Amino acid sequence: MSKTKERIATEFSKNRRNFLKFSMAAAAASVWPIVPGISWSAEGGILKVRDYSDIKSLDPAFFYSVPEENINACLYNKLIAFKPGRKWEWELQAAKSIQQIDQTHIKFELKDGIMHSNGFGELTAEDVKYSFERIVDPALKSPNKDDWGPLEKVEVTGKYTGTIIFKTPFQPVWWTALPFTPGNIISMKAVEKAGGKYTTEPPSVNGPYMLKEWKPKQRTILSKNPVWQGPKPHFDEIHIFPIDDEKTAEIAFEAGDIDFTRVSIPSLKKYEETPPKNGKTEKYPSLYWVWMGMNQDNEMLKDIRIRKAVQLSMDRKSIVEAAYFGFAEVANGNIPPGLLGHREKSSLPDKPDYAKAKKLLSEAGYPTGIDLTLDILNKSTYNTIAQVIQATLAPAGIRVQINIHDSGAFWVLGNEKDSDRWKSLQLILNRYTSVPDPSYYMRWHISSQVGIWNWERFTNEEFDRLEKAAMGETDQAKRAAMYVRMQDLLEESGCVTFITNEVTPVAYRDTLKPGLRPDGVSLLSNFSKT
């Protein structure tokens, strides 16, 4: 997986790529990390949670995954932070006030008295400047640089005041940087003393928790930060166990070894009908989107009539019901419900139109049908989706061969730098996650991503123009309309068939009140006891 990250270090923000890969990677063999002498129930002020991977870095400039983001949020302050709940909102954290004064300037004033640990003094506007400018500094080569878009600088106007200045308008900043890990504020003095970089041993923190212990592939322990002056943390310690396989995590939860975990879709129905002892389950809308792409540069799919025939033959409702057990909905676009730019209706029929599909195939020179391949990642959900696609395309005369790949093989399929394998790609089942801003959902398919992440090789001048313009559009209604139109263009091209935005099921102890984002992702410092 690291090879893939190194391979694609271009225009696309690497952290988003890793969200995708970590989430899709199949667990070949998970081992539950038994630690002798450790009690794994939530007693004595200890919260014990599962996350799907171990940490690689606790430097906000080099975070790679959601689990790292979850821990970072406990260690550092941001100007603003996500509020737990069912609606996407943020609240002031380190900022006493923050205001966008024009299209390219955001003024802020810090709360006083926020302290860095290890004797590095008070958090000031100089730390904000250092933290944000450090990430966009080309010399640092931060994979999260793109999250700050066209950031020019942070102008310090006082000990606690400053202005964030952009070269051009950049609306996504309120959702891609400020409340996420790239918005974390670190101690300039501490990091410079550490040589300008660090990995898993922060030289100083300023959040409610600090790193007490990290045992690779076993656990991470956070403890209360003694210099923290904000709202009192609800737990003395938080123990995070990296368990990649959801089934393994479920066994641990049922045994009482952990207090919170995401669970698999197949287990959700079981848990709803028969909840685990002292356990509750909830489901949250997801920021993921699942789609089937078609490589329009492949010889068999160059004709849009063939791509349209495939689209018209797909029974998306049956696909979602079979793969997600009725808990997810058919997607009308890639932007999920609840986000700016969500598309309310698809142009595709609710049921397959085999007659029209056959007519299009015949017009394209395939009166007796066509043979195509579908490449997928080896994971049970995607195996199910692929099988239903195969079955529902068959009545139209579209015969599909399913090619199943492990993670290492799958993630190089459409990349031009690796090989010419992209030329033989035809149908591709893919999945992606994002932030609660529509911009990242579109960046996947811009022309500059052809041969990188744009495996459909979709190119459209109007799409590229709209994607760029929407970044700076301050009128939210106009911005939303731009993203709806971009989804229209994707679907109209025949290159993309939207399948679902999924769902996020979680399980937790009935003694807990979990602090979760609207997509079910943990905000660990917001967890409390009932």
Q: What's the pLDDT tens digit per position in 295-341?
A: 999 999 999 999 999 999 999 999 999 999 999 999 999 999 999 99
- 70 or 24: whose pLDDT is higher? 70
Q: What are phi and psi of 98, to 5 degrees?
A: -150, 140
Helix (H), strand (E) at residue 134: helix 125-136
Please measure the distance between the N-terminal and C-terminal CA atoms of the chain and give it in whole angstroms: 40
Decide if pLDDT at 30 tops 70: no
pLDDT in tens, 471-526: 999 999 999 999 999 999 999 999 999 999 999 999 999 999 999 999 999 999 99
Domains of the chain with CATH codes: 289-501 (3.10.105.10)
Tokens representing residue 323 in the block: 């793969």
Report the SS3 class of residue 503: strand
Q: What is the largest CA-CA distance in the chain?
A: 76
- Range 271-285 average pLDDT: 92
The pLDDT score that the predictor gives to residue 39 is 37
Tokens representing residue 159 in the block: 């000990």
Q: What angle do the packed helices 265-273 and 246-254 form, to 10 degrees?
A: 20
Which of 61, 82, 253, 203 lies closest to 138, judged by CA? Answer: 61
- 221 or 1: whose pLDDT is higher? 221
Cross-strand pairs, 430: 291
Which of 518, 41, 508, 521 lies closest to 280, judged by CA? Answer: 508
Q: pLDDT category, 64, cuts 50, 70, 90? A: confident
* Burial class, 9, CB count within 10 angstroms (exposed 0-12 / middle 13-18 / buried 19+): exposed
CA-to-CA distance for 65 and 20, rounded, in angstroms? 9
Decide if pLDDT at 11 tops 70: no
The pLDDT score that the predictor gives to residue 36 is 34
- Range 213-239 average pLDDT: 95
pLDDT in tens, 236-256: 999 999 998 899 999 999 999
pLDDT in tens, 363-415: 999 999 999 999 999 988 999 999 999 999 999 999 999 999 998 999 999 99
Average pLDDT over the chain, rounded to an integer: 91
The pLDDT score that the predictor gives to residue 44 is 42
CA-to-CA distance for 204 and 220, rounded, in angstroms? 17
Q: pLDDT category, 354, cuts 50, 70, 90? A: very high
Residues in contact with 285: Cβ distance below 8 Å, sequence separation at least 6, in sequence order:
336, 337, 338, 501, 503, 504, 518, 519, 520
Cα dist from 102 to 129, 152, 454, whole Å: 19, 15, 34
The pLDDT score that the predictor gives to residue 433 is 87
CA-to-CA distance for 97 and 284, rounded, in angstroms? 31
Q: pLDDT category, 22, cuts 50, 70, 90? A: very low
Q: What are phi and psi of 164, to 5 degrees?
A: -85, 125
